[in-house]
Structure 1
Amino acid sequence: MKKLFKVLVFLVFLAVIGFAAAMFFTSDLTDVANNFFTAIKNGDYSKAQMYVSNDFKRVTSVSALKKVFPYNRFRNYSGCSFSSREKNADGTAKLKGKIEFSDGSSMPVEIVLVKEGEEWKINYISLSPTGVDVASNSNNSSDSNYNFLVKKTMDAIVDGILNNDYSKVYMLASDNFKNQIPKERLASVFKRFASVNINWNDIDSMQPVIKRTNVLENGVLRVEGYYPTSPKKVGFRFEYSKDGSSWKIEGLFLRFEK
């Protein structure tokens, strides 16, 4: 009995050591998240952008950030705690937990981070149960909800059109998409767009115009809109499926509009 007790104590000791190690080796992730929300608490949205990735920053302006994380709500921010912390070998990380407010309320949150140089940066924020993806899912900011998805997808497509290499598209695609559409077919589909009189490089500095979004019966998210290119607009219809905390490409469609 004493031997069993000693074994149990040893196992508990190992568990405590493992937990402490996990907290230590992921503290840099939680520091980034806390610094981000603290900056917003202080009304310093420009400083908050210091803690987000270049991709996040490119599609989410300071004014959009204010709509997503309104000061009237986040001035009561008191801290965040995370029940799940992951660091991956590919330079990504994930935090899952909750944001706590001084009024006693809390908000579930999931944060995906990426390594830029030697620093971790926030690349994606999902607030539940409101279903916020990078931006708030309110009527006042419905367009900005999906800007990040569309921009990232379109950047990958444009890179493929200009370089005839759709590897970046495949990095964002679901397994189902990859199994059904080989890279060669993707190159063939988009080949005709390369010869059109449009400066594709201009799209990087443009914001997409989101016309409509809806979730299909199979759970696929469909986002439709256009880029205000000249002489013709580039219309798009993108479809995504949820893979854990990330949206993956399920379908791509481009067209020219007057």
Structure 2
Amino acid sequence: MRKFMWLCLFMMLPVFFFHVQLRAEKFDPEKFLPTKNLYSDQELQKRFYNMSFRPFERDDLAFSMLVQKDWKDIPIKVPKKQLEQESASLIPLAKVMAPKGKRGIASIAVRYIKVPFEVKLSDWVDYYLKGNGLQPLLRRSGTFNGRRVEEVLWRSVQEGKTYLARMTLSRHGARLFIIVCSALETSFRQYARIFSAAAISFAVKKKATSEFAEPMKIYAGKRAPVLRFRYPASWTAKEPEGLPKGKSGVDISLRRKLAGGKARTLAFLHIKGISKTLNRSPDEIMEGIKKDFMDAGIKLQGPMDHTEITKRFSGRAMRAKRWSVLIAGEAGELAVAVFARHDGPIAMGLLVPSFKSGPLAWMAGYRELEIAARDLLAGSIAEKGRKPSEALINTDPKRLVNRTMYQLAKAVKSGNFTEFHEGFTMVLKKKITPQNLADNFRSFVEKKIDLTVIKGLDPVFENDPRIKPDQPLKLSGKYYASLMTVMFDLTYEPENSEWRLSDISIRTGPPEPPPGKKLKIPPRPELTKLTNATMIDLAEAISKNDFTNMYNNISKLWQKQTSKEGLADTFSSFVENEVDLTVINGKKPTFDKTARIEEGKLLLEGHYQTRKMKIFFALKYWMDADAWKLVGIRVWTKI
């Protein structure tokens, strides 16, 4: 049922977008839901198993995740009837617990549920939280190793004890997998890294073949303006009769059969295309859609917050309204949106039960509104019927990323993120403030990470950028600076004919050689010259008790990490014992191992044989401005 595998350089590469603080109470995401600098490869191999699970002997439920070696696997029993009703409740798949007596009670549990319709992950999280009366302390969206996730942290009280729980959700086809990591609030932070290791490393065995929970159909209308979009197979499409020239339309509905053969409509989407030759204003079109529903017997009760619609279409030119309604005496809501397109406006009216009375139908309706709208507007104009902005299409991705990164470098250096904040989309500006940004990049500011090292460099992208003016532009890659590697994941969205930032993740790491740049080991005479220069610098520094000249000759990378006083401390025993290394003058080193290059560093190991002693060395060099410069040294003697 389970098998254990030793870890071999298991790399966890989290990419997180901005969190939104949902309560006045302060919770630092990096303390409670950490994603940075979790464990080294050596720590992972020593402390964790990459544990494989195959619940109920089913490959479609199989998964793996990192589990600390001393945690106990708790057997799971699920009634057969519950397994047969996958959409009715969360089904337990696995549970592991920390050893008893170690900082209180802590566990990691994995559950799943099958969603009967195509729904949006964040909507399902809203449904789960509201249904269980949970108030999130933190909530955020992001990506773990290519897997889209929603994360929530909440507090609960059980048997008089206060717990914190971290829930990480990801969707794989029709199934939602949920990892719940919980511990007593007093000890939660001590387990936070262990919880992150499980949440980040989680991977299903059987990958979904589609991004959707259901098979999808394509509606392709023949009337102009042409309507073409995808919709789930559980929905049905019907074209209205008697449409006048200049208009096209289709109604799609989600229906469920009831006892006795009758059917009930759970969600209804009314879509119209209006030719620009008709010169209809967005307000006129919206009133027309509303009238269509009222003529069908829908009774408006009052206005509702329209941001439930607009938040789903960041950066899109649109008009939207939302009302509470009565549908045959039952509570529901009507959402109407009008979008600009090059051949004329697209109008959409969505009728669904209220979230409280029919949450799944509500989620399915809004999800199809998103899918249809994005398909209908793909390749069209977002900005008031104008042609796609030449500035968007002709954007140089490298210049765009450089501009963002230079602005970020300036913000980190000054600690003021106000100007950087101006480059975000309007939606993101409403969610986060300049102070939120400062909090997110606090570690960069406190550690004085100098991102200006990228100036003069071009970013190297993971994939060739593909620019489409009506779709988000995602750019990921690295800057290969001599002092560090700067990794970025940036997402831009079109807004007012320019690209604006909607997501950002920045990480730094040790320097790496750029891809395609092959470092060559110098010939033996140059290795000898390089070694002699370093060892004579050291010999003179020890003799004079002055490491200034040696410090000036080491790499800039090492200079950032140490000082001449630091070098002096390293070799203080040589100075105190008056070890005379100048005896190597005029001698050639013997290389005990073949020179090699590892992780961009040139490694040299060997010794000098003198009459008084044998002097051993292990030297590391880094390519700095086309020259090998010292980045590490170890010297010892044997008489």
Per the TM superposition, whether the score is higher than 0.5 is no
Q: TM-score, normalised by structure 1?
A: 0.43
Larger RCO (alpha carbons 8 Å, 6+ apart): 1
Larger radius of gyration: 2
* More helix as a share of residues: 1
Normalising by structure 2, report the TM-score: 0.18
